[in-house]
Amino acid sequence: MKKFRKVLDGLTTSSPGGTIGSPSCGSAAGTPTSAPAPREIDIQETLISENFQLCKTVRHGFPYQPTALAFDPVQKLLAIGSRSGGIRILGRPGVDCYCQHESGAAVLQLQFLINEGALVTACADDTLHLWNLRQRRPAVLHSLKFNRERITFCHLPFQSKWLYVGTERGNTHIVNIESFILSGYVIMWNKAIELATKTHPGPVVHLSDSPKDEGKLLIGFESGTIVQWDLRAKKADFRIYYDEAIHSVSWHHEGKQFMCSHSDGSLTLWNLRNTTKPFQVTFPHGKIQKDGRKESCKPILKVEYKTSRNSEPFIIFSGGLSYDKAGRRPTLTIMHGKAITVLEMDYPIVEFLVLCETPYNNEVQDPYAVVVLLEKDLIVVDLTQSNFPVFENPYPMDVHESPVTCTAYFADCPPDIIPILYSIGAKHKKTGYSQKEWPISGGTWMLGSHTYPEIIITGHADGSIKFWDASAITLQMLYKLKTSKAFEKPKVGDGRAAELVEEDPFAVQMVSWCPQSRIFCVVGISAHIILYRFSKYDANTQIVSLEVRLQCEPEDVISPSENENNPCFTESGSHSPHHQQPVNAGNRTPEGNKDSTPCLKVKERMVRVPPGYQSELVIQLQWIDGEPPQQITSLDINSAYGLLAFGNCNGLAVVDYLQKTILLCMSTLDLYGATDPYQRLTRSPRRNRQSTSELCMRGLSNLYSDSKKRIRTSYQSLTELTDNQQSIDMERSKSPTSVHYPTSLHNDSRILPEPVASLRASHCSPVFYLLDNVKGPGRKLSLPTDLKTDLDHVNGHCTSPTSQSCSAGKPRIPMGPEGPRLTRRGPGRPPFRKAQSAACMEISLPVSHTEVGHASRRAMLQQLHGVTMYSHDEHHTTASYCWSERESRENSFSHSRSSSVSSIDRETKEAITTLQFGESFGRKTDALPTPCLWVGTSLGVALLIPMSIPTDQEERMDEPVAIGPSGGVLMLKGSVLRFGFLDCMGALIQSPYEVWRDLNAAEDPDRPRRRKLVHFSPSSSQDACGDGHLAVVCSERQAKVFLMPSQSCLFVHNITESSFVLRADIVSVYNSACLACFCANGHVMTLSLPSLRPLMDVNYLPLTDMRIARTFCFTNGGQALYLSSPTEIQRITYSQEMCDNLQEMLGELFTPIETPEAQNRGFLKGFFGGNAQTFDREELFGEASAGKASRSLAQHIPGQGGVEGMKVAATGVVGDLARARIALDERGQRLGELEDRTALMMTSAETFSKHAHELMLKCKDKKWYQF
């Protein structure tokens, strides 16, 4: 049987008219080969491996899961630590640096070495790190790993090189910052407290030196114990024992008082003259109840006590609200004199800092702002105004305002598009911000010479679209578009099913943008498409709505016993097309029967639209038999043709958006006609579904009710694969398209079909696979938004097209030679999966170790595409789910099919995975290029659909566009991902487009508006190969280059055997074209065109997060991006030139600034003890007096300094040069500092010489007795 299957596979591979060429096209992975070509094509390729190097450039957005905050008051720099070990250092706009700890441990605390260009981080793995900020890419200089104690708090006094470290055991250690060596001086917890105390004081939660005397260290323990330790005398000055746990301590600048915040919501003020009891106890938010007792309050997590010269002191704290007020948002309270201001926050407060004018803690602080770090936002409050307004944040911190669901990156935009988007977006900016400048203004940044217009587009779960200016490795929001405004507000339904439907009905699934014509298309998760045109003027418009019935009917595939010769059609009458029906709101059916209606209701009235992108057309897929439509998986739009094409797992539709008509609506199988390369298996009709809607609710009701929150994992949650490393390694060695099939198919119509699993694609990477079932009761399912019973009927055999209807324009019938074949529906109703909520599109699946190759891959791809995979064996006819019965059925599968996509017994819906309009040759016999639509499917087939489009503008608006699926068929391994076209000189052929014209502008009668089209015909740019051109087709497994119109395969390259390609793009780098690929195993590759020669293969990013796979995209100029977390966009480059120039493009963090001098407080204050006392820490903590610390206590790990920052992906000579360059820069910087110190010493010597000379002249003539 295996031999027979291999023979048939070989026959099928070479079957369709020699479209692939000879068998010599196949090659091993990583080895391109060439097939015999009808003519020699001599193309001089200019790209070489030395042109490519992969490295990260910059990270935008809000730090995900922040944990710590620090501020340098002299350098004006802000640092944010995160749970994943990342550090973001922010300065003035343009100064934005991201660092990452290699360990990935959470950052517990950050401490700037104020005005020294260094930062200390304390991580959850009990390691201290010293970062050098005097270079554009900070690097670790030293690390100190604590072995026996856990770090809980750190404190670094201003202008000190000794760091105090508190631990969980209650001990306090001291670390030398310069050498990062532990001092022998230790404050043990049992020495700090009284000997009579019988209980442990708990971990150290606070350390600070007294503003009055630096030799006194205040230690706060969690239990409520406070100790002031005399560092010189090595004894406690006083001890305070309080009943409530301590969360934070803050000094008055004179050092005579300090304030504590406690777990009961109270603030205590202590006076050093009397430490037996607190000087004052307040409950800021605790009211006295009727019975005279204080109401219980939440803990005050942090308090800051800051004095001001011209007003009362500021007491600022977070928390402390009463427990009885449920549902209140997190607050920051500002107490200024008798006034109490409560600022409500949208998210929980992680940390806050008060920004003061002076870095000295013994001077009047004069606070001017508060930086509040929230879980998902960063806010700076202006304290200098009585209403406490917030500053307008110049950083792109609102990328995640609604969860990001898709991304697009354009690096070659027209230069005029950014200013016009910014000017329109600026009209809708929020007001009420503080008029003062942004206080975080450190560092320097200059606009580099290697800049060009770049735009990033993000789609979001609430249906909004954001355009970002990404030029010069910065990010600034230009314009925001809300797609939900095209629809009526959805009514809030009753019941569980309605709740699931209406979570995120407008979530953006994919976008398509033509920057030249400014035509913009959005695909939503409710199976809808919105077409926008750009205008600088507002207008009154009515949105045109088209409804498409795109359906694949598995019950129309009859068994071989009924008709063996024609398995694809049920009856001759199935060829007659359905008539299009105009949309009429009055024809909508009641809630219980949604047949032939879309998921959303378009606004039917005239609406006033502001300048910017204005909706012109809405296309929606209809409900069929009470089931929602399948999600749209591919989209392309061409402004020159005036056409829009989209497809899903049922078929393909082409819409003329100029005439507002549907040109083509066919199932994938009907696109082949007589050129179908597969021999499809037939199946017996299945039984009718149970008709009651109540049973539709029973299938997963129990599973849903018990684990709703666990299953509905949002985009905002960090998703990681739960497969262990063994599972991942094993699945990589498996074939990526392996699937288990039943050993036999039953022809009895009373028996449900055997299990066949399938997967539909999502918005980002339309890749489809056949996967086996995931075993085990521990599986998590991403529930569909309808709870239906017959999940076993999801995967049908795609056999017939569907009807369609439109609301405007004349009915259009495809003009191809065959025309569409439309089939009447049978008695059975194939269920369609409801448009899934965007919040359900990221799931972790634990899988069993059995059949791990299929299960692990299934888990990965389910998360990648954000869809749910059901197989026919999952019967939900009862409310309870029998896992043991399901496992027994799965165990009946005895073997796995071949991974070859050309297996003749492949049975699944063939989905449309990619579409591309362009000038090409639809047939081998064509002499001239014509408009064509290239269609890629999930079975590795590329179809060419030629079109006939009227060229005259008036005829284009009146005459129909002729389109018929009668072109060529090309085949590859794996799902087709991308098309690209080259001329015979190797240059990239762009798609034709229409030059933008504002339809709302006043028309000049002397110059009537006409469409101006720009064409890039393959025959207009070369004479080397006549009128032909090259077509590049890339699938998840291989890439091929075909010569058109002969359709002969010139080059083929098997990209990967053990993994699969997630994203592929034909991009322009160094004025040449190349193919860039991102694989599931984390490899980023580039291949030359057209020879498909490997240029770069870097194991960059192991795929542990499906979010990366969904949002990864390449663009021209050697750049790419992906969503590294739910709130951050990571940009990378694979261009050697940009890597070399990256140092110049990044901002400088450290700028030489004179440290402000301490104020002279006068003789009287110094005499009466008001002035701070200084002491020699070196003498006290140095090795000479304190001795050496135990070696087993902490381990010193030397860092690699600046060289570490250049070790991203640099290898060979290029890496050595880069490291030498940064080393040279550091050496030059040190020489510059040495020169400055030498000049300072010379100045000091000259001053000393001058004073000595003056003293000599003064004493020259004096006698010895006159002294």
The string of DSSP letters for 198-220 reads -S---SEEEEEE-SSBTTEEEEE
The per-residue pLDDT for 227 is 95
Q: Is 511 helix (H, G, I), strand (E, B) or coil?
A: strand
For residue range 531-557, what is the model confidence (pLDDT) as tens digits? 999 999 999 999 999 999 987 665 433
The whole-number average pLDDT for the span 1037-1044 is 95
Model pLDDT, residue 160: 92
Q: Which is more confidently placed, 421 or 849?
A: 421
H helices of 1158-1211, where?
Answer: 1163-1167, 1177-1181, 1183-1186, 1202-1205
Whole-number pLDDT of residue 1165: 53
Burial of 277 (0-12, 13-18, 19+ CB in 10 A): exposed
Phi, psi of 1107 (to 5 degrees): -60, -35
DSSP class of residue 927? S
Torsions phi, psi of 165, nearest 5? -125, 115
Tokens 């005029």 correspond to 416
pLDDT in tens, 797-851: 333 333 334 343 333 333 443 333 333 333 333 333 333 333 333 333 333 333 3
Per residue in 1191-1248, pLDDT (tens digit) is 788 888 888 764 443 333 334 444 455 556 666 766 777 777 787 788 888 888 888 8
Residue 501 above 70 pLDDT?
A: no
pLDDT band per the 50, 70, 90 thresholds, residue 764:
very low
**What's the mean pLDDT when you consider all of the chain?**
75
Q: Are 395 and 373 in contact (CB under 8 A)?
A: no
Instruction: Give CA–CA dist 319/950, Å, rounded.
Output: 69
- Which residues fall within 8 angstroms of residue 646, CB to CB, at 6 or more apart? 523, 529, 619, 632, 634, 635, 636, 652, 653, 655, 912, 915
* Inter-residue contact 401 to 460 (CB < 8 Å): yes
631 in Cβ contact with 837 (< 8 Å): no
Give the pair of three-digit tokens for residue 355.
Answer: 């920004």
Q: What pLDDT digit, counting tens, does each position of 1059-1104 carry?
A: 999 999 999 999 999 999 999 999 999 999 999 999 999 999 877 7
The predicted pLDDT at position 712 comes to: 33
Rounded to whole angstroms, how far apart are CA atoms 88 and 107? 11
Q: Which residues share a beta bridge with 996?
A: none
Give which of 403, 531, 422 is closest to 476, Cα–Cα.
422
Q: What is the pLDDT of residues 388-409, one digit of tens each?
A: 999 999 999 999 999 999 999 9
Q: What is d(CA 569, CA 549) in angstroms, rounded to the nearest whole number?
A: 19
CA 1262 to chain centre: 83
pLDDT tens-digit profile of 768-802? Answer: 332 233 333 332 333 333 333 333 333 333 333 33
Of the two residues 552 and 20, the one the predictor is more confident about is 552
- pLDDT value of position 554: 52
Distance CA 1129, CA 1120 (A): 10
Dihedral angle over CA of 346, 348, 350, 354, nearest 10: 50
| pLDDT reading at 575 higher than 60 | no
pLDDT band at 563 (very low <50, low <70, confident <90, very high): very low
Tokens of 233: 């005398």
**What pLDDT is recorded for position 721?**
34
Higher pLDDT pick, 857 / 1128: 1128
Q: Do strands 544-548 and 612-621 pair parallel, antiparallel, or not at all (unpaired)?
A: parallel
The closest of 859, 865, 870, 842 to 722, measured between CA atoms, is 859
pLDDT (mean) for 224-248: 93
3-state helix, strand, coil in the chain (%, to 5): 15, 30, 50
Q: How far apart are CA 55 and CA 36, in angstroms?
A: 38
pLDDT for 36 beyond 50: no
Q: List helix spans (H) across 895-1015.
A: 953-958
Q: Look at 424 and 709; give whichever has higher pLDDT.
A: 424
**Which pLDDT band holds residue 716 (cuts at 50, 70, 90)?**
very low
